[in-house]
Structure 1
Amino acid sequence: MSLLLLLTACLLTCLGQVAQKYAVESWRGKTTGWGEKLRSPWLWLALFSLGMGLLVWLLVLQRLEVGVAYPMLSLNFVLITLVARFVFHEPVDRRHWLGVALVIGGVVLLGQHT
């Protein structure tokens, strides 16, 4: 159950980050004021996702030691890298992929502790 909650917190946080990116991309080149920007559905999805991610994270911290749980959030780096590459078509070089592989290895090692 703890790992499911941790994965949920990661996914909600990543969704929030992606929604933030979409929000600011939708503002690019527009001279609209803050009133219109605050009505962006992407912004509200980001706030909702990050808020829910926080609530789930609190449940995670009730069940796991912070020294184990917090490093597991590095899965966000992996997920966001995949989104950056395949959704936003951003370049990702070999060193970055190597870093992603090392993060995955670290998460696997930590996951054996739970």
Structure 2
Amino acid sequence: MTLMLLLGACLLTCLGQVAQKFAVESWRGPSLGIAHKLRSPWLWLALASLGFGLLVWLLVLQRLEVGIAYPMLSLNFVLITLVARYLFKESIDTRHWLGVALIIAGVVLLGRHV
């Protein structure tokens, strides 16, 4: 159950980051007023995802030591890298992929304590 909550917190945070990217992308072009920006569904999805992710994160912290739980959030770097590459078509260099591999190795090592 704890691992599911941790994964849920990561996925909600990732969704929030992606929604933020879509929100700011939708604001490009002619100067839009703040009222128009506040009506962006992407902005509200980002706020909801990040807010709900925070609540799930609090449940995780009730069950795990912060020294174990917090480094596990580095999975967000992995997820966002995959989203950047395959959804936003951003180029990812070899050093970045090596960093992702090291993060995954670290999470696997820490996951043995959960």
TM-score relative to the length of structure 1: 0.99
Q: Which amino acid aligns with 1:89?
A: K
- Paired residues in the alignment total 114
Q: What letter corresponds to residue 58 of structure 1 in structure 2? A: L
In the TM superposition, 1:4-23 aligns within 5 A as 4-23=4-23
Query: Identity over aligned residues, as a percent?
Result: 80
CA deviation vs aligned residue, 1:14-56 (integer Å, no higher than 9, x gap): 0000000000000011311000000000000000000000000
Q: Give the CA RMSD over aligned residues.
A: 0.4
2:101 matches 1:104:
no
Q: What is the identity, as a one-letter code, of the residue corresponding to 1:87? A: L
Report the equivalent of 1:39: 39
Structure 1 residue aligned with 2:55: 55
Q: Distance in 2 between matches of 1:17 and 1:100?
A: 18
Runs of 4+ in 1 over 6 A off after TM superposition: none
Instruction: Give the counterpart letter for 1:100 in structure 2.
Output: V
Matched, 1:82 2:78: no
Q: Deviations over 1:49-88 (max 9, x none)?
A: 0000000000000000000000000000000000000000
CA distance in 1, matches of 2:77, 2:11: 11
What letter corresponds to residue 33 of structure 2 in structure 1? G
2:86 corresponds to which letter in structure 1?
F
Please give the TM-score of this superposition, normalised by the length of structure 2. Answer: 0.99
Aligned to 1:92: 92
Unaligned runs of 5+ in 1: none
